[in-house]
Structure 1
Amino acid sequence: MAPFRVIIVGGSIAGLALANMLEQYDVDYVLLEKYPTIAPQVGAGFAIQPNGARILQQLGCYKPLEAANEPVNSLSNVSYDGSLRMYDPEFGRWLQESYGSKMRFMDRRKIIETLYENLRDKSKILTSHEVVKIFSHSDGAEIETKVGVVFHGDLIVGADGIHSRVRQEMQRIAAEDTPGRDLFPEDDAYTCEYRAIFGISKAPEGIIPDQSFKWFGEGRNYLCASGPNGTLYWIFDMKNEEKTQGKSIPRYTEDDMFQAAALYRDDVIKEGVTFGDLFDNRIRATMVPVEEGILKNCFYKRIVLLGDSWHKVNPLGGLGGNTAIQSATILINELKDAILAEGNPSEARLGLALQHYQQGRQTKSSGVVEQSRQIQKMEALETPVARFIQLKLAKYFSPESMANAMCQWYAAAPRLKHLPLPPQFNLLPFTDEIKMKPKSRSKNIAFTFGLFLAAMVFILYPHLQQEETIVTYEAKKSIVSKFTGLDRDRSLQLHYNLSITVITAIISIESYRRSLHLSLLASALPFGIASIFVGWEFVAPAYFTLFVLSTGTKSYYYPCPRSIDLATAQAFFFAYLVNYLPSIVCTFGCSTFPSSLWSISHATLPLTIWPLAKWIARRSTGNIRGPAVLWGDQDIKYTNRFFYLMRVFSLVGYLFSVPLKGDTSQAKLIPLYRLVVQASSFDPSEVRILLLDVIMMTFLCFMIWDLRRINVSTAGLSTILLAIANALLFGPAVALAQLWSTRETEWEASRQRRAEPIGDKITTEKA
């Protein structure tokens, strides 16, 4: 049987990256390039980001590229008037420590040359071979080139860019096989709302090396980044008058470029530097439409698309080329698995591999296309919200917030699973290096969860309506009796309110979780205020349902940071004591006190945490910020101390909830059992507590299941039953506080790089 052979069309970054992968996987191939040279002087700059750098390291290409240029160390945003809106001098350090490499801009030609030079057998790279026709059969495929040569292989890969000849031929073959059906509707897939001038210039005076900066203006924006040898790579985007699709997307001439440059040459892109200065110092520049989009299907029979021929990404985010390299990685991994399984895979087995490739990249690539589109809209100030964020809020963005956004681009980067991975020292491991298996949760689960809690409230609410408002509590016992048991009203109120403190603790901690900063859970204050008016019987199920809904994304557990601000973590313990000790003391020691004191304590906990955290941060002499803190576990000892305090107070409240009244049978020593069974009828105060306990126990069971779902823990049914038993013996609030403390520790452990080998030939070292 002849060995499996791949025909790559296009000497692009994606095509040459795939050629390197095929060579190192020992898979036969040939690459056809239509230009007479392998690295023609076309295109502009290319940004190597950590998700692409990881794969280039495996191929042995990264060190030459790293040595050839300076990294981006700082990042700044500039307003339309040239004023500085944001400056982050630590941008490069954050990338290096968090993800293992800095961002590097270089000439597209340089990376193509490096990929080419890295090949051992360059005879497989053939230039001046423009494809004119493709044939696909059940047992192979053929390509005919313009010079009349026919190439035979088992798979054709179209890495020939947005105007792909391979894609056109694939569409033709599919149309011939299925008349009347358009399996690849190109006109609907690719759109254009902007045009751009890509350029490389000698850096004008006032532009310091190793920096990247962005300029925002209505309907236009600039991205500039330092390159090697005093060069500056830049993109100037301009919004078109109308959105175009497919074949109606315009093409631009050199005259169009000069007209646009003349119109905007007075834009002050940085203090003392105009766009005219940049354009006049150009080494090379070209104007192109900014095409965006992704085809629903990327393969047909023995033809598959790669890179821009399948998914065209707005270049502003610098994600397009790296996305293409990642797609090539997924493709070659699937092909290698098929070859290992069958030698020369049948068309059916090959189709399965290509289906896996499409499924593995469709969602991710679609997300990158959409993210890049939204970046464009934001930086061109298309909406009032965009203007407010970029011109008013951006200056307050911290390195932590930038890291939180960028980690979602990088952490899920694939690897060449049949090649060794060099030792990794990044603080944030890639997803395939950790124990956890992060995955999204269906919104239907949140709906079902909320429906169940709503049903509990609906069933028990009529009994709550009988309760009269209690304005004061009057002491009925002596000082001695207060140490052995409280009167019924006070004991129930103590149990109820100390249980609520666990809920307010969870609400407060999660409000500082960086992945929830743009969600409805970003502040604990609204929930506290709402509880004053409607009660925690309604606020708690509403919050838990929102929590289940908001944390359903894959990124919540990973790769977004788990840790919370270190000063805030230290503040929780003291904020609890400041807020709740007055209410606890009054419950035990005051003959009369307002019931609203507990409500105020619950509602104002966030207002106590915030100033305490600021005070602690100002007085701190240690390092409370930085990548090691963001991706580390330094906050856990403080949150665990906080939840230990929760458990102690909640247990006290639970055990004091109902006096024994002389019945010491084993079953009735369980407070929750006594609470219900000993009552001669449904007392409203007891129903209120019962409802809260049911809500907490339901949430407790859900969280145990959720941690098992993503492989944070191996808890099964026995663990859930044990948790329920714990809740019955010591109270649901105690069990929930214990779970949240354990959750932080196990969650962090599951995010760490595993010491054992991962995959086939991977070698790792713990960071």
Structure 2
Amino acid sequence: MSRESPFKVVIAGASVAGLSLANMLQANGIDYVVLEAHQTIAPQVGASIGLVPHGCRILDQLGLYEKVMEIAPPIQTFNFRDATGSVLAQHQDMDHRLIDRQMLLQILYDNIKDKSKILTNKRAVKVKLTHGGIQVTTADGTIVPGDMLVGADGVHSTIRQEMWKLAADLSPKHFDPSEHEAPPCDNSCIFGISNPCPGIGPGDLHCVFRNSSSYLVTGGPEGRVYWFRFQRLPKTFQGSDIPRYTDADLEKALAESADDNILPDLKFSTLVENKVSAVMTPLVEYIYKQWHFGRIITLGDSAHKFHPVGGQGGNAAIESAALLTNNLVKSLSQSTSGHLSFAEVVSIFEDVQSRRKPRVALNHRYSHGRARTEALDTPSKKLMALHLLPLVDEQVVTLSYCAQSPGGECLDMLPVRPHRNLVPYKQELLAEPKSRDYLQWVFIGAYLFMAAVVFCANRHVELPLDTSHTQNTSPTFHLGQPNEFRAKNLSTSHDFTAMSGVEAWASGLTPSEIYSLGHFIQPAAIMVIEGYRGRNKLTPLGLPILWLMLVHLVGLEVAMPLYFALYTMVSDSETYWWPLRRFVPLRYARSVLIACVVGEAVRIGLLYNHSTISNSTRSLDVMQQFSFLLIPLLVQAFGVFCGRRQELNPSKTLDLEILSLRNTYLVVGIAGALCYWYTLMYIFRDPAVFSMLNNRILLSLSSIQSVQLPLETGFWIYLLASYLWSVQAIWDLRRVGRFSSSVLKSAFGILIGNIGATNRSLLRTQGRASRKRVAPIVPVLALCLCVNLAMSLYQLPSNRLIERRLCIDYYRRTDPSQINPDGRLDEKLCKIREIEKDLGRFMLLWAIVVGRFDALLPTKAIIAGPVLSILGGDCVFNSLTYNLASNLTDDHVQRAIYFGYMSSVSYVVALLGPALASSTMTLSLWLPFWLGLILLLLAIPIIQLLPSPQELDRDEDGLAEEQHEPLLSSPLLKAQDDQNSLLHSTAERLQTIKTIISSHPRNFTLLLFSFWLTSLASSDTKLLVQYISARYGWTFASAGYLLSGKAVVNFTLLTVIIPKLLRSAREVQQAGSTEAVDKSNIRNAMYCLLVSVFGALGIAIASRIWMLIPSMFVYALGSALPIFTLSLLKSPAISPPHTENLEGSSDPEPHIFSIVMLVKTAGSLVGAPLMAALWVHGLDIGGAALGMPFFFSAPCYTVAIWVLTEMKVD
């Protein structure tokens, strides 16, 4: 069109979609013209249309809803009936309306101010694309120009056919040619309107279920009856095979069904006798893949057709028109010329299609599923319709019919009348709800993994053999379970003889037991409250007694992760979070608090009596055993009592229910907090009391030592699962648009609140054996955490920065229209082979440059590790920190556990780093860099906390040795500190290295080769983000979240499973048997390598994301390798003994770690460019070749297995 004329939209078809769009364009001052094929705008074709809330809301914005309400009564009674007409179920007040399609079209037409824009007898027959616009030729030869064409001409759309023809010449691959014959037809429909019939009043709706057929009958305005008869066809027809029905077919079908019951005393024949009109038509159900081409788009039935039983077709058309109007108004407001370029128009259409297709797919599934249910299509559908439907709660039925509304579109520029909705629209929320997507299964997998870890750990616990007490003693972390061993011991302890009974009992409880007195009430309250919510009634979460019994049997540390996993499984859907489904009946909401207080008081009282009465009766034992069931039983009893009172109107109960639950959460939270801080203050006030108490118990009852580890494991797992679930709950609230604050800030606040609990556990578990050795490892771990997390924060945003630059350069050359006016570009457009290959080549070149800088730096540069990692700084930092950890203990098991803790820090970083980088990248691409800088600054004061030689004590008597090798040791640092000349110092270190190598040349060389191989092979993990992004089309942020799930497995393995295995192995090995220890380390290292082989191969062949996730978790199990290989460095088969004459040379241990870290750095410097080259080559080939780096790493791990088998430790 001419640039002088205003922007004009040509609408083909005065349908609901066409006239709705005309009214919306009129409201925004956009020029348009409507071409209607018929002589009149609203012909009577015997059809009715359903209007549901999301469609009515848009009509209300246009000022038309009042007119609809004047003639269309709402559905007041919703009846489900069987083939005899008998009622199966009945529900009241459904906010749906049925109206003549003719009446709605007339309302829409009457609202048009300039009727000259509505042209009748103008059937569009030909479409032409012109420079800057379109031309439509009508059947009478009229040519109508415009800037944009909207096809709203129904299921047999001429505009769609013309669009396909144009694309066949200009872009043959744009449309799928098979779609011409693709739309299927499974049902026929007779729809009609009848004059008033007895038994069907205005606002009544009847759904009649029959075998292979069904009826939908409703009373409309002026007593009219709208009815549909749906009949299942003998087979599915497609395209040109779909039958066309004649008047004779209609009369035959009406006669065959005349005796069908609508009501018990109303036959279908009565409706037929009173009919005003009736039409028989096939029901096509289909959503076209592409709705637009060039400046042409189709809306409504032209783009998608649903089964009419759901009443969604007309409403979906109105929604699509609203979204198109929103985009058009926004784009025109940003245009300086008043017109839109070709690229801008295409961008508008792409957005409409991409946002509407998921929703119309939901409408299609709902309508098709409902049609099959009402036609009793399968035995399961028959069971559901005839037997289960009468039993379900009204909320469930309401949910089914309201599920289509919340995601509805509206006009952004027009006000929406405020309502207090129990089913909120997405525009009423803080953000549009989203699915958890793959993170759903990451969370579930993490919870199940935690539960399995503790359950397996508890299976191998040997209980004390004292038959008088084992009956009620559990080895697991049972919050609130009595520990009779401690109670019995305390009763004879001289330190507590002056205390009263209650004081002695309370003082005899361990920190975890004190903590439990105020904490058991919290999970119990959560289980009970969630059990009464409507959203959980049809799930196992609706059985709180079942979960409390599970807690009693296996402990909170197993039951709660399982509870969290099931909760995660059922709570992904947006409908789960609707206020309609959140309700707890008021009588139960008011009962929870008093039931929790009374039930917990009785339970604690029974625990006290059980532990202080020496000859307790059997009834008291039984009461104590089942005391955990008091809370749900009391809630039910109080609820029944309160239920006898008159209930308030449901609309008034919401505030009262929220207030009752808020008070419950407040009280149980305060109870837990008070016991938590009381326990913490008790420990800090006199930690020696608990150290003495635990040691005395363990000495007097040595058989309970095997119980201690599962208690510690259970506590940590319960703590970790609770923290993860708490953060997930906050993220869920943000995900579904109920919360707008930062999830990271909230997660950090929760973490700070748990630090005290962590410290308490450390004090309890470490205080009995090596209390003074807890402190030295903590600053080392803290330093590793800060420095490595700073490093991790750089990876994702740096990759994204490089990719974005390459992507912008690419589209500037190929398609500048894809770049937004502000210079931004959708990240999804960057996931193409050309750009990914350029990124791979860039990373390859960068790795080669990095490989030239490998000089070691002095210890003073430790804080520059992240920045200097490209210069070999990782080698310095790792050698220093591992050397520090090595010198903290002489116990090989404790040393290996320390190595595990240090390795776990890297996986904590892998857990937090990608997630933190991903979430902050969405705010600002530079934010992760600033956070990394802050972490480096935090690391500076931590360095001052690192242990000095005088603070460490290696003697069993606790006396400091006179000579200590400095722990912060490296060759260059020693050279600076030594008083001798630099030349002499260098010669001394060379002599030390020579001594190390000559001591055990074969074993040391083989071990170094294994370090080099595994470091080279593990370089493939640096490509995981790019691999996931390129192979599965994910954004870098989403890939980062997936890597965080992998890190959960790594962390749990290194902090829980491996320490348990090491401690268990120590019990069966002979004291001082170094050969057994070395063989065990080699064997475990080979297991880790074997798992890595399978994991790498699994990742390489994973063609689908569901195949990748388990492969990544298997690969993660190999992360324990450094624990065992680094432990070998202290072995006499590798390191020369301290008693050997080293001729004045320095301690060999720091040099060994420096050599190892140099070798590992060399492996990574070779691996980085090699893996990058393989990655680029794989991108050239495509397909399974994308996994080429992982195909290469698997043989490297295999060779490393062979290398370890060649080591001799005999």
Whole-Å Cα distance in 2 between the matches of residues 251 and 531 of structure 1? Answer: 63
**Pair 1:144 & 2:166 matched:** no
Instruction: Deviation per CA, 1:156-209: give whole Å up to 9, x if none.
Output: 111011111111111111122234664364356522211111010112222233
Which of 204, 217, 222 is the equivalent residue of 1:211?
204
Change in CA separation of 1:445 and 1:187 when aligned onto 2, cut-off 3 Å: same
Residue 190 of structure 2 contacts residue 280 of structure 2 at CA under 8 Å; is this kept in 1?
yes
2:839 is matched with none
Residue 61 of structure 2 contacts residue 411 of structure 2 at CA under 8 Å; is this kept in 1?
yes
2:236 is matched with 243
Moved more, 192-201 or 69-78: 69-78
Residue 496 of structure 1 contacts residue 689 of structure 1 at CA under 8 Å; is this kept in 2?
no
Whole-Å Cα distance in 2 between the matches of residues 563 and 154 of structure 1? Answer: 51
**Pair 1:647 & 2:647 matched:** no
Moved more, 651-660 or 118-127: 651-660
SS at match of 2:285: strand
Which of 708, 714, 726 is the equivalent residue of 1:688?
714
SS at match of 1:243: strand
1:452 is matched with 446
Whole-Å Cα distance in 1 between the matches of residues 673 and 415 of structure 2? Answer: 52
Residue 195 of structure 2 contacts residue 276 of structure 2 at CA under 8 Å; is this kept in 1?
yes
Q: 1:493-508 maps to which residues of 2 (within 5 A)?
A: 493=513, 495-496=515-516, 499-508=519-528
Which of 256, 260, 264 is the equivalent residue of 1:267?
260
Task: Choose between structure 1 and 2: higher strand proportion.
Answer: 1
Q: 1:47-66 maps to which residues of 2 (within 5 A)?
A: 47-66=50-69
Instruction: Deviation per CA, 1:24-52: give whole Å up to 9, x if none.
Output: 11111111111111111224111222211
Change in CA separation of 1:246 and 1:669 when aligned onto 2, cut-off 3 Å: farther
1:721 is matched with 748
Q: Where do 5+ consecutive residues of structure 2 fail to align?
A: 465-469, 473-481, 492-496, 700-704, 761-1210
Which of 572, 591, 606 is the equivalent residue of 1:586?
606
Instruction: Deviation per CA, 1:277-318: give whole Å up to 9, x if none.
Output: 111111111111121121122111111011011111111111
Moved more, 147-156 or 647-656: 647-656
Which of 547, 551, 569 is the equivalent residue of 1:527?
547
2:862 is matched with none
Instruction: Deviation per CA, 1:673-729: give whole Å up to 9, x if none.
Output: x999x9998444344333322221222233234334445141454433332232344
Change in CA separation of 1:455 and 1:345 when aligned onto 2, cut-off 3 Å: same
Change in CA separation of 1:78 and 1:455 when aligned onto 2, cut-off 3 Å: closer
1:375 is matched with 370
Instruction: Deviation per CA, 1:584-636: give whole Å up to 9, x if none.
Output: 1111233357888666444675555445434322x22241x53454xx33212
1:91 is matched with 93
Q: Where do 5+ consecutive residues of structure 1 fail to align?
A: 96-102, 734-767
Whole-Å Cα distance in 1 between the matches of residues 392 and 74 of structure 2? Answer: 22
Shift of 1:210: 2.5
Q: TM-score, normalised by structure 2?
A: 0.55
Change in CA separation of 1:131 and 1:572 when aligned onto 2, cut-off 3 Å: same
Which of 441, 459, 466 is the equivalent residue of 2:461?
466
Whole-Å Cα distance in 2 between the matches of residues 670 and 650 of structure 1? Answer: 23
Instruction: Deviation per CA, 1:637-664: give whole Å up to 9, x if none.
Output: 2212322342344346546769958x62
Instruction: Deviation per CA, 1:477-517: give whole Å up to 9, x if none.
Output: 47725246536567645644753442232233223333344
Residue 187 of structure 1 contacts residue 245 of structure 1 at CA under 8 Å; is this kept in 2?
no
Count of residues in correspondence between the two structures: 713
1:227 is matched with 220
Q: 1:625-640 maps to which residues of 2 (within 5 A)?
A: 626-629=650-653, 632-640=654-662
Moved more, 133-142 or 197-206: 133-142
Whole-Å Cα distance in 2 between the matches of residues 390 and 234 of structure 1? Answer: 20
Whole-Å Cα distance in 1 between the matches of residues 690 and 723 of structure 2? Answer: 15
1:34 is matched with 37
Amino acid at match of 1:386: K
**Pair 1:392 & 2:387 matched:** yes
Whole-Å Cα distance in 1 between the matches of residues 239 and 520 of structure 2? Answer: 58
**Pair 1:704 & 2:730 matched:** yes
Instruction: Deviation per CA, 1:444-484: give whole Å up to 9, x if none.
Output: 21322234345545665665332527424544447725246
Change in CA separation of 1:659 and 1:353 when aligned onto 2, cut-off 3 Å: closer
Change in CA separation of 1:106 and 1:716 when aligned onto 2, cut-off 3 Å: closer
Instruction: Deviation per CA, 1:373-399: give whole Å up to 9, x if none.
Output: 111111111223322332233334444
Higher relative contact order (CA 8 A, sep 6+): 1
Moved more, 206-215 or 294-303: 206-215
SS at match of 1:213: strand
1:402 is matched with 397
Share of identical aligned residues, percent? 28
Change in CA separation of 1:605 and 1:315 when aligned onto 2, cut-off 3 Å: farther
Moved more, 530-539 or 262-271: 530-539
Whole-Å Cα distance in 2 between the matches of residues 341 and 173 of structure 1? Answer: 30
Amino acid at match of 2:685: T
Amino acid at match of 1:616: C
Whole-Å Cα distance in 2 between the matches of residues 608 and 246 of structure 1? Answer: 63
Change in CA separation of 1:145 and 1:460 when aligned onto 2, cut-off 3 Å: same
Moved more, 535-544 or 234-243: 535-544
Whole-Å Cα distance in 2 between the matches of residues 315 and 396 of structure 1? Answer: 26
Shift of 1:12: 0.7
Moved more, 427-436 or 163-172: 427-436
Shift of 1:546: 2.4
Shift of 1:327: 1.0
2:119 is matched with 126
SS at match of 2:582: coil
SS at match of 2:61: helix
SS at match of 1:168: helix
Moved more, 177-186 or 434-443: 177-186
Change in CA separation of 1:652 and 1:351 when aligned onto 2, cut-off 3 Å: same
Moved more, 484-493 or 391-400: 484-493
Q: 1:121-200 maps to which residues of 2 (within 5 A)?
A: 121-179=114-172, 182-183=175-176, 185-187=178-180, 190-200=183-193
Change in CA separation of 1:80 and 1:596 when aligned onto 2, cut-off 3 Å: same
Residue 192 of structure 1 contacts residue 291 of structure 1 at CA under 8 Å; is this kept in 2?
yes
Amino acid at match of 1:10: G
Whole-Å Cα distance in 1 between the matches of residues 22 and 540 of structure 2? Answer: 47
Shift of 1:571: 2.6
Whole-Å Cα distance in 1 between the matches of residues 52 and 688 of structure 2? Answer: 62
SS at match of 1:239: strand
Change in CA separation of 1:279 and 1:426 when aligned onto 2, cut-off 3 Å: farther
SS at match of 1:215: strand
Amino acid at match of 1:268: N
Q: Over aligned residues, Cα RMSD in angstroms?
A: 3.3
Shift of 1:347: 0.5
Residue 606 of structure 2 contacts residue 624 of structure 2 at CA under 8 Å; is this kept in 1?
no
SS at match of 1:521: helix
1:752 is matched with none
Change in CA separation of 1:371 and 1:136 when aligned onto 2, cut-off 3 Å: same
2:875 is matched with none
Whole-Å Cα distance in 1 between the matches of residues 144 and 168 of structure 2? Answer: 23
2:105 is matched with 112
Whole-Å Cα distance in 1 between the matches of residues 759 and 102 of structure 2? Answer: 63
Whole-Å Cα distance in 1 between the matches of residues 411 and 84 of structure 2? Answer: 46
Residue 359 of structure 2 contacts residue 407 of structure 2 at CA under 8 Å; is this kept in 1?
no
Amino acid at match of 1:446: Q
SS at match of 1:86: strand
Residue 130 of structure 1 contacts residue 146 of structure 1 at CA under 8 Å; is this kept in 2?
yes
Task: Choose between structure 1 and 2: higher helix proportion.
Answer: 2
Whole-Å Cα distance in 1 between the matches of residues 461 and 509 of structure 2? Answer: 15
2:1000 is matched with none
Residue 215 of structure 1 contacts residue 222 of structure 1 at CA under 8 Å; is this kept in 2?
yes
1:664 is matched with 685
Whole-Å Cα distance in 1 between the matches of residues 694 and 349 of structure 2? Answer: 61
Moved more, 509-518 or 331-340: 509-518
Change in CA separation of 1:522 and 1:687 when aligned onto 2, cut-off 3 Å: same
2:1150 is matched with none
Amino acid at match of 1:626: P
Shift of 1:436: 2.6
2:1041 is matched with none
